[in-house]
Amino acid sequence: MTDTTAADEPRDPHLWLEDVTGEAALNWVREQNALTVEELTDGARFEQLRDGIREVLDADDRIPYVRRRGEFLYNFWQDAEHPRGLWRRTTLAEYRRARPDWQVLLDVDALAEAEGENWVWQGASVLRPGFHRALVELSRGGADATEVREFDLESRDFVQDGFRLPEAKSSVDWIDEDRIYVGTDIGEGSLTTSGYPRLVQEWRRGTPLSEATTVFEGKPDDVAVHGMHDPTEGHERDLIVRAIDFYRSEIQLRTPDGLVRLDLPEDARPSLQREWLLVRTRSPWNTGVAEHPAGALLAIRLQEFLDGSRDLDVLFEPDARTSLDYYAWTRHHLILNTLSDVKNELRILTPGEQGWRSEPLAGVGRTDAASIDITDTDPDHSDEFLLNVSGFTEPSTLLYGHVGEPVETLKRAPAFFDGDELAVEQHFATSKDGTRIPYFVVGDPSRRPGPTLLTGYGGFEVSLTPSYSGVIGRGWLAGGGTYVVANLRGGGEYGPEWHTQAVKHHRRRVYEDFAAVAADLVARGITTKERLGIQGGSNGGLLMGVMLTGYPELFGAIVCQVPLLDMRRYHQLLAGASWMAEYGDPDEPADWEYLRTYSPYQNLRAGQDYPPVLFVTSTRDDRVHPAHARKMVAEMRDLGYGPDLVRYHENIEGGHGAAADNAQLAFKWALVYEFLLRQLI
């Protein structure tokens, strides 16, 4: 590993822990794991937690969520008998039954045993139209990098001499049965600095990958590029997407005369469906015809746009409390999912000669303590939709319908914990700059003040909405704990401006928001600081690291999962370079000036009254490097913080989720809850 620390900064003594599978590094990991496992798994409560969570994960009566591909509904299923999982399909008529007759396409457990590999399912792209071939992606141990293989859905076997790619962070998309777009690691210059494809190539069946035609070449410091084919009958087209950074992109149409770039703001999020071009704005956009605010959704016919018109229809405009979460097409309609103070409402928009008509989705009202999520639609053929309704104490219900027709309940999930005595409340804390920060509280009011677990994320425009979790219920709520979800700036709960208020040199606002929620919980008598634990992963793991080093007096315990912690080198580790639009470039002195003020690894100090902390990560996480957590713990050890304060567990498998199957997932969460219960009860 190369130490790129500036000359005026101390050398990094733990650089050797960045060698992911190096013998010395893994020996250190095993030593730390042994200490944590020996301590936290030695009692009956841990076994009860692990077994109870495993029951949730493996339950036969869970809802088997499906995606329609042609006449079939496809599902991937894991349980105790099939820990790696089954890819399977059925018909809607069968799916309506309590126990559908599933046709198994691929048994990942059997494949792993036959090939001697730890395969983890990562999805499949099914050829449209026809739906008789798929490109299946499998990873070793749950990493983002996958092996791609062509699969025949009729014979239910891999295609001999079909399309196949070795392990890499590849991008693939069908053009037709004999051609695909591919971006993968083919040697020097084929990947960006973020480790994703820099080339889009067209690969024809029966030819070696080395003979694939290069269609587009991105720049080395782009995040990624990929090619896409839209096979919608009457609207067939090919697109090249260049992701300049995490929030800026260019989209070009591939035509017989060459590439034609869509003249859109780089930070806009466009999509194409049949004749329509939809544009979501991330910043204000003056088209020359009108000024559109950030967070708007606009529509125009694609050909009109290409001909020079900028007279776009306004489908949605945000206000101070309401934002667009996402949308989905059916054959003739557009379903909008909006958030008002983090509460859902679904609306149906229908284009017509007089413009777009907007109305609520019949049979599905607005929710206060639950979320409604669109799980699937059938934009090729019908106005079918599937909706999942769930809340913190409300198990999921899967609804089925067609726009304009009555909604049918297809499936109901079981309750994994008793929610009868639990209340769901929404409160608002006041952050340092006066901004109101919403948060949800779930628990039994009669047990206050009591042990409380607070979580948050605050980044990448990710919204945290109410949802049911049997794992949280079994692991925390059932034992009398209170659970809190904070909707911090940096997320998307109030649209793109809620996010942009907290990027780069404004990042401190995320941490001030979280600290304000923590203080508000104590002020309201929901908990005390000694009984307040916090948990977060990935960007939320960075949040936990900042709370540890910057706000230790507020908390009784911290769980920091798959975290970013070394903000001096994050951009040089795995996919880190792709996040510089969120955090900044540490090699730019002006950016490092604010990054260094909160970077957890650089802000550790000896002799501090830090709360007990558990770090959890995965060797196979090829998105956020495990060295962030490794080096943090090593530095804390050097500063005199022993295993009675700092605990560490690294799953040798598991990817960014830190677990490759349900057994590993149950073990991980049992560790987390056992640690929290010991510190906060």
Q: Which residues are catalytic?
A: 538, 656
Tokens of 516: 């304000």
SS in 3 state form for 307-360? CCCCCCEEEECCCCCEEEEEEEECCCCEEEEEEECCEEEEEEEEEECCEEEEEE
Upper half-sphere CA count for residue 312 (Cβ side, 13 Å): 28
SS3 497: helix
Q: Is the torsion defined by CA of 583, 586, 592, 598 positive or negative?
A: positive
What is the C-alpha to C-alpha distance for residues 456 and 107, in angstroms, rounded to an integer?
Answer: 36
What is the C-alpha to C-alpha distance for residues 465 and 486, in angstroms, rounded to an integer?
Answer: 10
What is the C-alpha to C-alpha distance for residues 488 and 498, in angstroms, rounded to an integer?
Answer: 8
Q: Are 613 and 645 in contact (CB under 8 A)?
A: yes
Question: E strands along 519-607, which residues?
Answer: 532-537, 557-561
Long-range contacts: 152-155, Cβ < 8 Å, 24+? Answer: 153/105, 153/126
User: What is the residue type of 239?
Assistant: L
Place of tokens 């067609």: 402
Question: E strands along 407-549, which residues?
Answer: 408-412, 423-430, 436-443, 452-455, 482-486, 532-537
How far is residue 213 from each of residues 178, 203, 530, measured CA to CA in Å? 14, 7, 62
Residue 213 backbone class (left: φ over 0; alpha: ψ -120 to 50; beta: rest): beta
- Of 444, 431, 561, residue with least CA distance to 488: 431
Place of tokens 């008998």: 81
Omega prior to 552 cis, within 30 of 0: no
Place of tokens 């726009």: 403
Tokens of 301: 């016919």
